[in-house]
Structure 1
Amino acid sequence: MTPLEIIANFFNLGSVFLANRNNVHTWWTGIVGTILYGVMFYEVKLYADVILQAFFLVTNVYGWWAWAYGGKDHDELPITRIHWPQLMLFTAAAILITVGHGYLLYRLTDANFPFVDSIVLVFSIIAQFLLMKRKLENWLFWILVDAVACPLYAAKELYLTAAIYFLFLALAVSGLLNWLKLWRAAQIESVEGG
């Protein structure tokens, strides 16, 4: 366990906690944590995770803007749902891309656990995209990512990060339930107000 791992996990845990609470400050804390994670994953040769952190850096900036001003009238973006066929399409595409990316890492790099690392990469990208759009189903993808990442990081002796991802898993389950409650309340308010 290094000081870098401790500080990176502090910021990333804070970011996920704030996302769970539907709080816009999730994004700036995510930016800091993302940069630190990128350095850490590079040091342990989890290259798909380094790529993922670069993606997160860009999406955290966009997500910050989208949550604050991405609504219909340039106001706060509401929690919405994704349609079932879209969800199935995202899932099928993620599986195919994961296999292809894992194969490339296996053949072209010295990456450890290339296929498992690719699951974390690809499904995180979809989860983050859905989170940026404030789609409730983002939490389903985060649950999968966190469940896969825990043993991956433990295998790389990133024990603190593995433990944090276990907390991320609990926060993702809690986030799903919390956002579902918020979404239902907004639906009731919309029906009563309209």
Structure 2
Amino acid sequence: MSLIEILGAILSALAVWLTSRRSMICWPVSLAAAGLYCWVFLKARLYADAGLQIAFCLYVVYGWRHWHRMERPDGRIRVRRPTRRTLLNGLLCGAAGSAVWAFVLARFTNDPMPVTDATLTAYSILAQGWDTMRYRETWVLWIVVNSAYVALFISRGLYPTAVLYAGFVLLAANGYRLWKPAPSAAP
């Protein structure tokens, strides 16, 4: 446990809470948290998760701009409904990305859990993409992914991060409750 990990955990929790509230300030807070966690995961030899933080930084920039264009006068963001095909294609891309990334990690790194690391990373990227597109289903995927992350982080001795991700599960359930698409929202 380090001060960087604790600060990253606090900022990450705040970012998810702000996202569930559809607040634009979630993006700069997310950027700071991702930067801190990139360092934490590199030190823990969770290379896919470190790379994921870099991907999150790119998503933050995109999401920040995208959400800003979709902001309503009350400051909230409209939630969208994806098609079933969009959801299925996303899940299949997550599986393919997981397989490729697991191969790379197993072959070229000393990652102690390459398949788990790769799978959770691939589906985290998908969930973040759905978040930037304002799909309510992002929260369901985050519940599944973050539940699995809790076990991974406990196994790596990252206890503050495991507690954070357990909290993320609760925040994701609340996000799902709060993100109700408008009846006329189109995909």
Pair in the same fold by TM > 0.5? yes
Cα deviation, 1:118-147, whole Å, max 9, x if unaligned, reads 122101111111111111111122112101
C-alpha contact (below 8 Å) 1:67/1:76 kept by paired residues? no
Who is 2:99 aligned against?
Answer: 99
One-letter code aligned to 1:133: M
Residues 1:77 and 1:19: Cα distance change in structure 2 (over 3 Å): closer
| Separation (CA, whole Å) in 2 of partners of 1:88 and 1:102 | 21
C-alpha contact (below 8 Å) 1:136/1:179 kept by paired residues? yes
Once the two structures are TM-superposed, the CA of residue 55 in structure 1 deviates from its matched residue by 0.6
Superposed structure 1 runs of 4+ greater than 6 Å apart:
none
Alignment of 1:110-125 (within 5 A): 110-125=110-125
TM-score by length of 2: 0.92
C-alpha contact (below 8 Å) 2:22/2:77 kept by paired residues? no
Gap regions ≥5 residues in structure 1: none
C-alpha contact (below 8 Å) 1:66/1:77 kept by paired residues? no
Cα deviation, 1:12-51, whole Å, max 9, x if unaligned, reads 0000011111111111100000000001100111000111
Who is 1:176 aligned against?
Answer: 176
| Separation (CA, whole Å) in 2 of partners of 1:143 and 1:30 | 18
Cα deviation, 1:77-122, whole Å, max 9, x if unaligned, reads 5210110111111112211221221122111110121111112210
Alignment RMSD, CA only?
1.8
Report whether the alignment pairs 1:130 with 2:130: yes
Alignment of 1:178-193 (within 5 A): 178-180=178-180, 183=181, 186-187=182-183
| Separation (CA, whole Å) in 2 of partners of 1:93 and 1:31 | 25
| Separation (CA, whole Å) in 1 of partners of 2:15 and 2:157 | 23
Who is 1:165 aligned against?
Answer: 165
TM-score by length of 1: 0.89
The structure having more radius of gyration, on CA atoms, is 1
| Separation (CA, whole Å) in 1 of partners of 2:91 and 2:31 | 26
C-alpha contact (below 8 Å) 2:139/2:175 kept by paired residues? yes
Question: Whose RCO is larger (CA < 8 A, sep 6+)?
Answer: 2
C-alpha contact (below 8 Å) 2:154/2:162 kept by paired residues? yes
C-alpha contact (below 8 Å) 1:68/1:76 kept by paired residues? no
Who is 2:154 aligned against?
Answer: 154
More helix by share: 1
